Amino acid sequence: MPIKPQLLTPDTIAAARDLLAQDGTAVLIAGGQWLTPQLRSGTQTPEHIISLHRVNELRGIRQKDDRVEIGAAETHHAISQSQLVQSALPGLAQIAAQIGDPATHQRGTIGGGLCAAPGQCDYSLALLGLDAQITTTHRSLTAVEFLDASNPKTIDQDEILISISLFTSPRTLFAKIPHPAANSAAVGVFAAELSGDRCRLAIMGDGVWPQRLTDIESRMGAWPFSTVFDWPAALERENPFFISRLNALWRRGQKDLTPD
Amino acid sequence: MDAYLSSPDPSPGKITLIVNGETRRVAAAGSDLLVDTLRDKLNLTGVHVGCNSARCGACLIEIDGAPAKACTVLTGQVEGAEIRTVEALAQQDQLDPLQTAFRDAHALQCGFCTPGMLMAVRTLLQDNPNPSEAEIRQGLKGNLCRCTGYQTIVKAVQAYVSDTSDATNAANPDAGAVGTSPKRVEDARFLTGRGQYCADLNLASQLHAVFVRSEVPHARIVKVETREAENMPDVVAVLTGKDVAADQIGELRCGWTVHSRDGTPMQGGARPLLAHQTVRFVGDAFAVVLAESAEAARHAARRVRLKHEPLPHNISPTDASTSERLHGEAENNICFDWQFGDETGVEQILANAAHVTEIDLTNNRLIPNALEPRAALADYQPGRGSSVLYTTSQNPHMARKVITETLGFIDEHELRVISPDLGGGFGSKIFIYPEECVCLWASRHMGRPVKWVSSREEAFLTDAHGRDHVSTARLALDADHNFLAMNVETTANLGAYLSSFAAFVPTFLYATMLAGPYKTGTISCRVQGVFTNTAPVDAYRGAGRPEATYLLETLIDQAAREIGVDPVALRRKNFIRPHEFPYQTPVALEYDVGDYEAHLDRAMDLARVDTFQSRQNEAAAQGRLRGIGVSCYVEACGIAPSAVAGALGADVGLWESALLRFTPSGKLQVFTGSHSHGQGHETTFAQLVSDRFCLPLNEIAVIHGDTDKTPMGMGTYGSRSLAVGGSAILEATDKIIEKGKRIAAHLLNKSVDNIEFRDGHFHDDARNAHVPLQDVVHAAYVPHDYPLDLEPGLEASAFYDPINFTYPSGTHVCEVEIDPETGQIDLVAFTAVDDFGQIINPMIVDGQVQGGIAQGIGQALMEEALYNPQTGQPITRSYATYALPRATDLVAIETDTTFTACPSNPVGAKGCGEAGAIGAPPAFMNAVASALGVRIDMPATPEKIWRACLKRNHAD
Ligand SMILES: Cc1cc2nc3c(=O)[nH]c(=O)nc-3n(C[C@H](O)[C@H](O)[C@@H](O)COP(=O)(O)OP(=O)(O)OC[C@H]3O[C@@H](n4cnc5c(N)ncnc54)[C@H](O)[C@@H]3O)c2cc1C
Ligand code: FES
Ligand code: FES
């Protein structure tokens, strides 16, 4: 068994997909912020590493009707700086802006984050809150399917995440308390008003898998939403600390939205 | 697949990189981490590896102008991209303006984080040429610095941006006077990426060692299966504990013997170099793989299997006595049950006192986290008397002694230990660990040099941890609030083995500090040292003294709350007064000097304690709880009078040495037995002699860290380098001057009694004649016209054994603000006023204080080594799980000093390296308690704070 993996640098999705299919140990690398420590520590020992940095098809942020489609290999930096995201999906721009330290922010990608650990990826909030559709080489999933707590759809070894398409909504709320070491959300909340008066509310955090709170969505009122409501009783019982922080974040975030 | 190979050449492949403006063809694999390619193939060793897991920023470089951690990039991903490393910044020897700003603001100590920090600042300023302080801190969030506390780095950036660098003395190499702050001699090499750390060194034909470590907390070894690993490519050998035992290699032992209250010596804790029969904690090494590359060794290490029978494990010090025994000799896992002071007397007073305050508290386990991981490079040369061990050691001579004694096959005089530039230590690099011994043993076994570099995960698992005490303390006060007596009972978690100083730290370094700055009548202290299935625990910055101070200062605040008096007034009332020195404490030490009210008063002023109420009200109006906390401390530094150390159980003396050598051209070499790993000895020690000889700093070289060059030394810890090592230097200086006087007397045709040395000249005042030092040096080496009874040459050595400890003291004041709904806590202000006696270089002292405070705040705010009690698995084993203070967690810290002259050594210095780590935790936690109205244990995590707030609301 050769110990050094080979780096392959395809320039199309199709080529990358073929390469993946040829070697069951092969892994993809995008920004490398999550994968490289695994390679170094030997947690992952692929024979081939397939870099996505030349695959332009995985880039791009574009408007498609009432949705914005984001290529899986777009970086946190590009997403947070995009004029289109800032105006059409300000909540997503805020999430992206707070991910990582400056270097990880520059190199890490939305696709990498979602494939590596969707449960700890801050974008999961926006996926749920903006009714995202996730397109891979193999299938198309809704955010709710992708992040189904009881049956999360992890991206398979031979599958490539291509893009994420989210409903535009300038009416969003995002707030996060970062984990003191890991930086991803220890408490995160995201709300959006979508067209047709549909509201979305998603939460995640330390020990709390990203989830939509559909019960509350019907009661939270139109943007800038209502100040108070009851959080799920079960969560409150199991994790009162989380709920208290969530509550504070929500109230303050909501207050910030309301013009004095 | 070939069409998509990152480089068209067949393996090993040539990759074209554009590095620092040059196009380079590199024989690297596309999948090699860029950090390895830059370091190993292009020799750009200014790119440091602190974690190899994207979390420390030591490897930060620019790729196409954007910041990137080189450990997260594969070489083949950046073909054709423009890469810039720290090596590109300086032109020849000319620092660029940002580097200059760093040097002038003292923004670096050990220098290990510095290259990454510089690159981070550059990329930050590209996007935002005029950042606010908050933006600077945010921009540096990805770069850990364990030494500086970040404030000086922030200042450097501000000065650079506003073009107001403090270049005082920088351009003037003459300015070296004691009490001034010349820029550091060592900075130029650190700023340009030319520091030489152990991992930067390589020897021809070296093998790479990777240790195989237990993944279970406690087990009997049945068999170590090595076959599969041995057959892997490039693997040369896999050695196990059995091989060590077969070579009759000894075990590592603690260098300090403590006796239990019943008079028996401490039991158990010897550590085999590789576990042979039992593994005792997760991380315990039982085999080592030797291979042609580190990568091959890492891969093979994962194929070595441990067949074992699990044993019950325990990680909690308070459950140790009822758990499975770790060491046969140590019944109930008790290593020692030690008692100090008049227990019966104390109990009597406690029983009859007007008021008794009692607290239970823990002192949380910490992981030192010097940014440079440990490393070793061993080259055994049989029969040549010149075997070399490069290692990350704070005390190379001690390392040489213990390693040769343990190994047995090599004697002290045959081994040269070199400790090159060190990326921080904080205690963790004092100790003798198995790994460096194994490297030397394996080098003999294989007949080749052996190199090992710890990963960050190994550092988390195996660097000696700090603190981990569980205590109960009672303080008796009379009706006038005088402290009458104190009783302390502590269980100290020693971990799975006894590390080099492990028995000393929670006993003599701890109990003797329990008097603090107060006149407590009598004190008794009982300490049980216990074994658990956790990493060994030993001295970490402060070592025993932070534990004592935290306990005492917490107890006093609690007493003040209970009896309803101002905690500051209670302290003041019980202070030892200036006229009462020398003061014999009830816990053995005799304090030589101090003025505690002086720093208390100054700290109250600086921290604007009188107006705190209005700040608290303002915060309350916004629903936030603001608290203020004070702590006062005395520490014993300048370790230590050897006779005292011996009486207390030390196996060694604790003197220090110096050798001063004038070269024939009149330049001065200062060889010191102490070691610098960020403290700037190359500057302060040079200042000491510069001052005496009136020599410019650039004509003095301070040499340390090499047992073949420097005289015997005991190393750097316990804030001893200047007080003890500096004193040795001054004594050697005196010897040189004495000899110089005889030469001068001859040259001036006068009796030596008439000669005086000052201003760099030997004077005969009666005749108004003088000879410059340089003429005397010349005469010493060209003794044509020279006293007949005097040997030529001008060098002198001295050993200095202190007559007493030194006793720095200080007052620290902290303000915090708490958000009761989220439990988030912000440090808002910190003030430190310390008395360090004579200060040689105020800039460096301030840096030491800042850095110590940052570590102290880290302990109080966020740091805690955690093990899962059910599984015995360490939870905190990376920077994604163990929170270290980052630039965004800290604020500007205000410092000042007061002065009492230290009579106990010729320098007059007391030591400053540990003060911050001692004073900060209680100040911080007293501030938290003041905000909450109740005490919580460290670290003050949001969840603990939130729970305390909840309780408070229920109580209301
Ligand atoms: C210092 C630091 C701070 C961080 N802070 C945050 C934070 O605040 N919030 C947060 O949510 N996260 C945070 N993270 C996690 C970070 O978001 C993720 O690591 C993300 O950036 C990884 O993206 P990447 O492109 O670097 O992934 P890579 O490491 O390249 O890949 C990650 C995994 O995804 C796979 N993969 C990548 N792209 C694809 C694709 N297109 N299709 C299929 N599989 C793919 C890879 O094979 C790999 O298994 C942080 C990480 C670090 C190191
Ligand atoms: S971030 Fe690369 S070594 Fe730590
Ligand atoms: S100077 Fe920053 S880690 Fe030492």
pLDDT digits (tens, 9 = 90+) for B762-791: 999 888 999 999 999 999 999 999 998 999
Q: Check if B141 contacts A (Cβ < 8 Å).
A: yes
B932 domain-assigned: no
Bond preceding residue A152 cis, omega within 30 of 0: no
How is residue B827 annotated by DSSP? E
Q: Is the dihedral of CA B50, B52, B55, B57 positive or negative?
A: positive
Would the ipTM clear 0.85, i.e. be above it? Answer: yes
pLDDT digits (tens, 9 = 90+) for B49-72: 999 999 999 999 999 999 999 999
A182: chain B residues, CB-CB within 8 Å: 880-881
Extract the tokens encoding B310: 């699990």
Q: How many CA atoms lie within 13 A of A72 on its CB side?
A: 28
- Mutation target to probe the B interface, by most B beta carbons within 10 A, among A27, A40, A208, A245 is A40
pLDDT at A259: 63
pLDDT above 50 (res B8): no
Q: Which residue lies with its CA nearest to atom 3 of ligand 3? A: B145
What integer pLDDT is reported at residue B319 of this predicted model? 96
Dihedral Cα B546, B547, B550, B554, nearest 10 deg: -170
C-alpha span between B932 and B916 (Å, rounded): 24
pLDDT tens digits for range B814-848:
999 999 999 999 999 999 999 999 888 888 889 99
**DSSP state letter for A3:** S
* pLDDT tens-digit map of B415-452: 999 999 999 999 999 999 999 999 999 999 999 999 99
Residues A182-209: tens digit of each pLDDT = 999 999 999 999 988 899 999 999 989 9
Task: Please compute the mean of the pLDDT values over residues B862-867 and round it to a whole number.
Answer: 98
Cβ B191 vs Cβ B113: under 8 Å: no
Q: Which of residues 236-295 of B touch A (CB under 8 A)?
A: 295
Q: Tell whether the model's pLDDT for residue B169 goes beyond 60.
A: no
Distance CA B552, CA B557 (A): 9
Report the residue of chain A nearest B455, measured CA to CA: A41
A105: closest CA among A77, A128, A83?
A77
CB of B55 sitting under 6 A from ligand 2: yes
Whole-angstrom CA distances from B865 to B531, B701, B855, B885 are 16, 40, 14, 14
Site to substitute for ligand 2 among B44, B45, B47, B49, most atoms within 8 A of C-beta: B49
Same-domain status, A23 and A85: no
Greatest Cα-to-Cα distance within chain B, rounded to the nearest angstrom: 92
CB of B144 within 6 A of ligand 2: the answer is no
B48 and B160 inside one domain: no
Least CB-CB distance to A180: which of B30, B74, B883?
B883
Do A139 and A233 lie in one domain? The reply is no
Nearest CA in chain B to A17: B1
Both tokens assigned to B453? 């570099």
| Three-state secondary-structure class, residue B822 | coil
- Flag whether pLDDT at B496 surpasses 60: yes
Alpha helices in B639-709 (DSSP H): 642-647, 681-693
Q: Which one of A167, A190, A223 terminates a domain?
A: A167
Question: DSSP character for A154?
Answer: P
- The token pair at A75 is 């970086």
Q: Which residue bears the tokens 């942020």?
A: A61
Chain-chain contact of A33 with B72 (C-beta, under 8 angstroms): yes
Rounded to whole angstroms, the Cα distance separating B573 from B588 reads: 22
CATH of the domain at A201: 3.30.390
Residue B218, sorted as left (phi over 0), alpha (psi -120 to 50) or beta, turns out to be: beta
Q: Are residues B67 and B125 in the same domain?
A: no
How distant is the Cα of B31 from the closest Cα of chain A, in angstroms? 5
| pLDDT at B171 > cutoff 70 | no
Measured N-to-C along each axis, helices B545-563 and B915-932 cross at an angle, to the nearest 10 degrees, of 30
> How confident is the model over B582-594, as a mean pLDDT?
93
B642 falls within a domain: no
Residue A10 to chain B, least CA–CA distance (Å): 5
Domain that residue B167 falls in: 97-198
Q: What is the mean pLDDT of residues B258-276?
A: 96
d(CA B48, CA B354): 59
Give the gap in angstroms from C-alpha A238 to the nearest C-alpha of chain B: 14
Q: Based on the structure, what is the number of domains in chain B?
A: 3
Domain residues for A90? 58-167
- Residue B522 burial (10 A CB sphere; 0-12, 13-18, 19+): buried
| 8 Å CB contact of A104 and B77 | no
Shared domain check, A247 and A149: no
Residue ending a domain, choose from A150, A167, A184 = A167
Cβ(B372)–Cβ(B456) below 8 Å: no
Query: Looking at the structure, do residues B78 and B126 belong to the same domain, yes or no?
Result: no
The string over A123-159, giving b where at least 16 C-beta atoms fall within 10 Å of a residue's C-beta and e elsewhere, is bbbbbbbbbbbbbbbeeebebeebbeeeeebebeebb
Q: Where are the alpha helices (DSSP H) in B842-886?
A: 842-861
**Ligand 3 centroid – CA B110 distance (Å):** 5
pLDDT digit string (tens) for B329-379? 999 999 999 999 999 999 999 999 999 999 999 999 999 999 999 999 999
**Residue A260 pLDDT greater than 60, yes or no:** no
Same domain, B687 and B761: yes
Q: How many Cα atoms within 13 Å fall on the side-chain side of residue B635?
A: 33
Secondary structure (DSSP) of B435-449: HHHHHHHHHHHHTS-
Longest dimension (CA), chain A: 67
Peptide bond into B664 cis (omega under 30): no
Same domain membership, residue A178 and residue A250: yes
CA dist B694 to B700, B730, B772, B844, B866, Å?
11, 14, 10, 21, 53
Last residue of one domain, picked from the residues B752, B776, B800: B800
- Phi-psi sector, B924: left (phi>0), alpha (psi -120 to 50), beta: alpha
**A97: domain CATH number?**
3.30.465.10
CB within 8 Å: B74 and A248: no
Check whether residue B72 and residue B106 sit in a common domain.
no
Indicate the SS3 state at residue B306: strand
Residue A260 forms part of a structural domain? no
With bands split at pLDDT 50, 70 and 90, how would you rate the model's confidence at B10? very low
CATH number of the domain where residue B161 is located: 1.10.150.120
Q: pLDDT tens digit string along B927-944? A: 999 999 999 999 999 999
> How many angstroms separate the CA atoms of B910 and B602, rounded?
19
Interface of B with A in 33-92 (CB under 8 A): 33, 52-54, 57, 60, 66-69, 71-77
CB of B747 closer than 8 Å to CB of B753 = no
Probe ligand 2: pick from B37, B44, B55, max atoms within 8 Å of CB?
A: B55
Is pLDDT larger for residue B181 or for residue A174?
A174
Spatial CB neighbours of B936, under 8 Å, sequence gap ≥ 6: B925, B928, B929, B944, B945, B948
Question: Ligand 1 within 6 A of A71 CB?
Answer: no
Whether residue B752 contacts residue B870, with contact meaning beta carbons closer than 8 Å, is answered with no
Interface test with B, best of A6, A49, A50 (most B CBs within 10 A): A6
CATH assignment of the domain containing B76: 3.10.20.30
Asked if B67 and B116 sit in the same domain, the reply is: no
A86 and A47, same structural domain? no
Residues A120 and A64 in one domain: yes
Contact across the interface for B295 and A3, Cβ inside 8 Å: yes
Q: In what order do the strands lie in the sheet with B60-63?
A: B22-26, B15-19, B82-84, B60-63, B66-69
* Angstrom distance (rounded) from CA B765 to CA B753: 11
3-state secondary structure B329-357: CCHHHEEEEEEEECHHHHHHHHHHCCEEE
Residue B894 CB partners (closer than 8 Å, separation 6+): B606, B607, B829, B830, B831, B832
**A79 assigned to some structural domain:** yes
By most ligand atoms within 8 Å of CB, the mutation choice from B38, B45, B56 for ligand 2 is: B56
pLDDT at B695: 93
Does the residue A40 lie in any domain? yes
With bands split at pLDDT 50, 70 and 90, how would you rate the model's confidence at B3?
Answer: low
Instruction: Specify the pLDDT at position B638.
Output: 79
Does B69 sit within 8 Å of A104, measured CB to CB?
yes
Does A13 contact chain B (CB < 8 Å)? no
**B46 CA → ligand 3 middle, Å:** 13
Looking at A72-231, list the stretches that DSSP marks H as alpha helix, in order from N- to C-terminal side.
76-81, 83-88, 90-97, 102-107, 110-116, 123-129, 143-146, 214-217
User: Total structural domains in chain A?
Assistant: 3
Query: Looking at the predicted structure, is the pLDDT value of residue B223 above 50?
Result: yes
The answer to the question of residue A104 being in a domain is yes
Q: Taking a contact as any Cβ pair under 8 Å apart, which residues of chain A between 23 and 42 contact chain B?
A: 23, 29, 31-34, 36-37, 39-42
Domain match, B29 and B109 both:
no
Q: Are residues A182 and A237 in the same domain?
A: yes
CA-CA distance, B669 to B676, in Å (whole number)?
Answer: 16
Specify the pTM.
0.95
Q: Are B380 and B205 in contact (CB under 8 A)?
A: no
Which member of B31, B124, B883 has the closest CB to residue A4? B31
Q: Are B674 and B747 contained in the same domain?
A: yes
Residue B718, pLDDT > 70, answer: no
Within-domain flag for B663: yes
Per-residue pLDDT tens digits for A40-90: 998 899 999 999 999 999 999 999 999 999 999 999 999 999 999 999 999
Residues in contact with ligand 3 by the CB-under-6-Å rule are: B 108-114, 145-148, 371, 424, 678
Q: How far is the CA of B429 from the centre of ligand 2 (A)?
A: 21
The CA distance from A155 to A140, in Å, is 11
| B725 and B659 within one domain | yes
* B contacts of A49 (beta carbons < 8 Å): 31, 74
Q: Is residue A208 domain-resident?
A: yes
Q: Are residues A124 and A74 in the same domain?
A: yes
Q: Is residue A1 part of a domain?
A: no
Contact assessment for residue B594 and residue B519, using Cβ atoms and an 8 Å cutoff: no
Residue A110 is assigned to a structural domain of this protein: yes
- Cβ–Cβ < 8 Å for A88, A170: yes
Smallest Cβ–Cβ distance between B54 and the set A5, A33, A245 belongs to: A33
Please calculate the CA angle A82-A107-B195 and round it to the nearest 5 degrees. 135
CA distances from B245 to B269, B276, B438 (A): 17, 8, 12
Q: Are residues A245 and A213 in the same domain?
A: yes
**CB B884 near ligand 2, within 6 Å:** no
Task: Using pLDDT thresholds of 50, 70 and 90, give the confidence band for residue B636.
Answer: confident
Contact criterion met (CB < 8 Å) for A7 and B862: no
**Is residue A223 assigned to a domain?**
yes
Q: Which of residues 42-71 of A touch B (CB under 8 A)?
A: 42, 45, 48-51, 53
Same domain, A77 and A125: yes
- Looking at the DSSP assignment, which residues form a beta bridge with residue A71? A163
Quote the mean pLDDT of chain B: 93
Asked if B26 and B42 count as a contact pair (C-beta separation under 8 A), the reply is yes
pLDDT in tens, A26-52: 999 999 999 999 999 988 999 999 999
| Percentage of the residues of chain A whose pLDDT score is greater than 90 | 83
> Does one domain contain both B661 and B784?
yes
Average pLDDT over residues A104-116: 97
- Note whether A105 and A142 are same-domain residues: yes
**DSSP assignment string, B256-284:** B--B-TTSPBP----B-SS-SSEE-STT-
| Interval between CA B138 and ligand 1 midpoint (Å) | 20
Question: Final residue of a domain: which of A167, A194, A221?
Answer: A167
Q: Mean pLDDT, to the nearest integer, of B571-598?
A: 95
Domain end residue (candidates: B777, B800, B823): B800
pLDDT for B9 equals 45
What's the gap in Å between the CA of A65 and the closest CA on chain B? 33
The answer as to whether B404 is a domain residue is no
Which conformational region is residue B261 in: left (phi greater than 0), alpha (psi within -120 to 50 degrees), or beta? alpha
Do the beta carbons of residue B271 and residue B305 sit within 8 Å? no
Please provide residue B269's backbone torsions phi and psi, each rounded to the nearest 5 degrees.
Answer: 105, -5
In this structure, the answer to whether residues A36 and A103 fall within a common structural domain is: no
- Distance separating alpha carbons of residues B704 and B700, to the nearest angstrom: 13
Residue B327: inside a domain = no
Say yes or no: B685 and B790 in one domain. yes
| Cα radius of gyration rounded to whole Å, chain A | 19
Nearest-angstrom CA–CA distance, B281 and B260: 25
